[in-house]
Chain A
Amino acid sequence: MAETTYREAVRAAIDDAMSSDERVFLMGEDVGHYGGCYAVSMGLLEKFGEQRIIDTPLSESTFTGAGIGAALNGMRPIVEIMTVNFSLLALDQIMNNAATLLHMSGGQFNVPLVIRMATGGGKQLGAQHSHSLEGWFAHIPGLKILTPATVQDAYDMVGLALKDPNPVLVFENALLYNDKGELDTSAKPLPIGKAKIEKEGKDVTILTYGISLFKSLEAAQTLAEEGINAEVIDLRSLRPLDDETIMASIAKTHRVVIVDEGWKSGSLSAEIMARINEQAFYELDAPMARVCTAEVPLPYAKHLEDAALPQADKIVETVKKMVGVS
């Protein structure tokens, strides 16, 4: 066990995968000579050379598609897209090719590709660099969507994604890269599609993922001081979703708040609510609630941005209202 940053954990996962499998390579904008726009790939060019750490031009659609082609033809590419906002230029390739080829070809061509991208707001980068669109991608059959929150998951999920025969998108919240935590590279990773109970509780279930996990844990602590015992679940994987863990928790707490950095309308939180309605309606003691990003493109000004994003105090307030304490 060693204390590591989230950034180093992702790097270590890439490094380990590249060392153990010749077919793995990394490509994207600034991943090589610059060292990665979030410094994730710093040092990897020196170690693995230009053949395997490949700087691409600003051609999101084509280098993402090239990742798909290389995966079809026997490689295990990792494509890094600077932020989820730019992935929209590659949406055609992700949606129309990566997600569909296996099915359209009647099972003949699978796409073992990993796409990593930064996501999330909170750094005052304005509306074209701050959005959380992972919930959108989770809409698409054929893709798997992972959202590591912890240092351990940052390491584990990149490794798991590379072993998966399907296209896997890994969303790294940009604010987490400097976070520190314990990393055990020899621990058996929790599989794709499993949620994790980060804090046990009995009064209310808080379902969350990515950076909102930490805001939810902070909220749970505040709530505990007021005698409300919240269970906090890190969903980890948005597609597939771990319905089993979600429903089991609700059967225990009978209340649920979903914290999602996406917008409310048509969001992942909306999907989760629908599933709870279908599968656990009679377990509920109160209407479900959610804390999402305000329905605005993220503003630049700090106070406005803070107000737009889900925050611990909003979670506390929402839970208290639900249990009738506010």
Chain B
Amino acid sequence: MNLTIEKAKEFYSKMLLIRRFEEKCVELYSAQKIRGFLHLYIGEEAVAVGLADALSEDDAILATYREHGHALVRGISAKSVMAELYGKVDGCSRGRGGSMHLFDAKSRFYGGSAIVGGGLPLAVGMALADKMQNRKRVTVAIFGDGAVAEGEFHESLNLAALWELPILFVCENNQYAMGTALRYTESQTDIYKKAESYNIHAKQIDGMDVVKVAKAATRAVEDIKETSKPVFLECLTYRFRAHSMFDAELYREKAEVKEWKEKGPLVVFEERLKDAGLWSDLDLKAIEADIQNVIDEAVEFAENSELEPIEDLEKFVYSEVSNG
């Protein structure tokens, strides 16, 4: 990948946007503006940003409940995500989804799903439909290392390989499922090897380096479009914050967190740019100011957005119209 200054700026801005957006979320959560479960992505930004770089508008994403980052880089506006966190009608799910259930038809963002492993079968079906209709597009299924223990993970990998479906499986291996480290739950902690056992082309990559993720994802998407077969990427990453806002985080050593923070995605990227001689060309102040602006506007938008009228409570239980 040729890291131009434009690309560098884009990657850096997007990672910083996710970071600042979520830091704002913490504040708003403490101020009780945002409620419910709130799972932060801080520390894992390189995965979402690198991945988004590889996708075209036609591709679809199915993510988990830790999906603010994916939603933002996929092009759902910060306003729309923030309004959703506020439970307002202008939110991307009209306030019915919340942090864990972001959806957006325009950007082909199919969740936002809070059942661990539950999105994988849907991805199989999405890709099956593309294959049946001879459409060359990719469905991306994003999930954590915890999902690997669910039966649906294995069923879905088997079907995707058996039916040769255009799916990009992206495992965000942040080493923990809530408070339980992977080594306590998996006999095989190299997750990509599980995918290999289903005859899926699989790679383990450094999920802290946005350029490495972008490269691997671009390559994977090309392969999928060419062969119509699934590819599996295991991204080694780490969440710097607790699992959710309710987690006292007693299960891991401060030293471990510190160690990972030292190889955080922004830090790693800074080094990369310095090596490439591009760092000094980034106008950091301007980027920071732009992002601050986006976030301020998002908060203002969310504050001012209306609540869905209670009379509409029972809307969207049944559909009157068919899709497609």
Binding site for B on A (CB under 8 A): 23, 25, 51, 56-57, 59, 61-75, 77, 92-93, 96-97, 101-110, 112, 141-142, 144, 165-166
CB within 8 Å of A: which B287-324 residues: 315-324
Dominant SS at the B interface? Answer: loop
Interchain CB contact under 8 A, B103 and A93 = no
Could you count the A-B residue pairs with CB atoms below 8 Å apart for me: how many are there? 156
Interchain CB contact under 8 A, B156 and A142 = no
B263 interface residue per 8 A CB criterion: no
Using Cβ atoms and an 8 Å threshold, which residues of chain B touch A93? Answer: 118, 121
Interchain CB contact under 8 A, B125 and A96 = no
Interchain CB contact under 8 A, A51 and B120 = no
B133 interface residue per 8 A CB criterion: yes
Interchain CB contact under 8 A, B155 and A102 = no
CA A166 – CA B319 in complex, angstroms? Answer: 6
Of A51, A105, A144, which is within 8 A of B103 by CB? A105
B137 to chain A, nearest CB (A): 9
CA A59 – CA B95 in complex, angstroms? Answer: 34
CB within 8 Å of A: which B69-124 residues: 91-97, 101, 103-105, 110-113, 115, 118, 120-124
B277 interface residue per 8 A CB criterion: no
Using Cβ atoms and an 8 Å threshold, which residues of chain B touch A112? Answer: 319, 322-324
Of A63, A66, A69, A74, which is within 8 A of B323 by CB? A74
Q: What would be 15 A-B contacts, judged by CB atoms less than 8 Å apart?
A: A57-B159, A65-B122, A65-B152, A65-B156, A66-B122, A67-B125, A68-B125, A70-B129, A72-B122, A75-B133, A93-B118, A97-B122, A107-B94, A142-B317, A166-B319
Binding site for A on B (CB under 8 A): 60, 91-97, 101, 103-105, 110-113, 115, 118, 120-130, 132-133, 139, 151-152, 155-156, 158-159, 162, 315-324
Using Cβ atoms and an 8 Å threshold, which residues of chain B touch A101? Answer: 111
Of B92, B105, B322, which is within 8 A of A165 by CB? B322
Using Cβ atoms and an 8 Å threshold, which residues of chain A touch B94? Answer: 106-107
Using Cβ atoms and an 8 Å threshold, which residues of chain B touch A97? Answer: 113, 115, 118, 122
Of A51, A108, A165, A166, which is within 8 A of B104 by CB? A108
